[in-house]
Structure 1
């Protein structure tokens, strides 16, 4: 039996997933979480055959959750199930340690197949994303600037693009205001941007905001 910890902040999504997996004989949703902090607490309290994580949840950021889960258990299977298109987030999630990425528009049989594969130690991405991942792993000077940011820089970039103040970002990421300012300076230099307006325009242009 595959013991699943499912995390999504929308109750209706969690209910839908439970219905999809209810008749699958080798799977059990043994835990539910509605925030990143809930996931972290449940990771500390128990072991799971697979984590089924949404990207956009309140509390601890999903990139941090992936890293913390892998620190506790380097072999921990993690499947991202997100509303965001693969070309926006899949590569960053996989590079951060996730073992698979699936959109919520995928068919139920794809979800079941992905859970089985990832739980057994495999990787799951679409054929399209396989090609993109190969391109990403090859040196390429023409990559979009935001793909060259570190995970921390990318988190700060998105937060700034969403209109968050430096103090708010620092509180959310549990870092000092000075550290956030340093990340902001670095990402703007890497991306050749000069203002908050530039950051917002870039994020909108490339579809990085929901």
Structure 2
């Protein structure tokens, strides 16, 4: 079994590799810390599982998720992210993720998720399952950020953590003007103009940790 670990922090990649190697001693691993390195690994070698962070240098992890599903539609992608699952998991599943975990998850839950997706199933945490069940029973009123596209939501989260337009453009490999356009659309949809107001909104709605 070949597992590709995609995360921009080496310590996270090492920890995941050690955890999964103890559970699956026969597994071999590949690692990538950027979107371009992950894309190259996906096209160069076959994988049985991809563990993917959303927040990556050189582009968008959500875009990479969609590309992974196009390149290898039968390979499960397990998203492991610092972004809160309530707002990002559904978007990830719509793009083809087989499971979604936050980095606050315990090791046993990670192993259970890997086992589930390798068997062809889907994995959601018990907290997310409860949230989805509650939403189905009594749908919550749509929040303004529900109207944001996945890319707009990413930009909002980066603005909320203090990143400038130039820094966001570099991280997502887009032009400054493109990010400025996303920033303008976000302000229009949320009815907020300043970065302080956007950051406050993101914190109040648990969009950033």
Fold match (TM-score > 0.5): yes
Residue 66 of structure 1: how far off its partner (Å)? 0.4
CA offset digits 1:120-151 (Å, max 9, x no partner): 32110023312433566799571322232111
CA offset digits 1:78-129 (Å, max 9, x no partner): 1012344433532332233211012334343332221122123211002331
**Is 1:53 aligned with 2:52?**
yes
Aligned to 1:174: 173
Point out where structure 1 has 5 or more consecutive residues left out of the alignment.
Answer: none
Larger relative contact order, structure 1 or 2 (CA cutoff 8 Å, min sep 6): 2
Tell me how far apart the structure 2 counterparts of residues 177 and 15 of structure 1 sit (CA, whole Å). Answer: 34
**Is 1:128 aligned with 2:127?**
yes
Structure 1 residues 85, 196: closer, same or farther in 2, change over 3 A? closer
Residue 27 of structure 1: how far off its partner (Å)? 5.3
Number of residue pairs matched?
Answer: 209
Q: State whether residues 91 and 133 of structure 1, in contact with CA within 8 Å, keep that contact through their aligned partners in structure 2.
A: no
TM-score w.r.t. structure 2 length? 0.83
Tell me how far apart the structure 1 counterparts of residues 144 and 137 of structure 2 sit (CA, whole Å). Answer: 15
Tell me how far apart the structure 1 counterparts of residues 137 and 46 of structure 2 sit (CA, whole Å). Answer: 36
**Is 1:206 aligned with 2:209?**
no
CA offset digits 1:24-63 (Å, max 9, x no partner): 3475142112223321121121121111122333232211
Structure 1 residues 108, 81: closer, same or farther in 2, change over 3 A? same
CA offset digits 1:128-187 (Å, max 9, x no partner): 312433566799571322232111211221232233333443343333444333322222
Q: Secondary structure at the match of 2:141?
A: coil
Point out where structure 2 has 5 or more consecutive residues left out of the alignment.
Answer: none
Structure 1 segments of 4+ aligned residues over 4 angstroms from their partners:
134-141
- Two-structure CA RMSD over aligned residues (Å): 2.7
Q: State whether residues 58 and 172 of structure 2, in contact with CA within 8 Å, keep that contact through their aligned partners in structure 1.
A: no
Tell me how far apart the structure 1 counterparts of residues 155 and 84 of structure 2 sit (CA, whole Å). Answer: 21
TM-score w.r.t. structure 1 length? 0.83
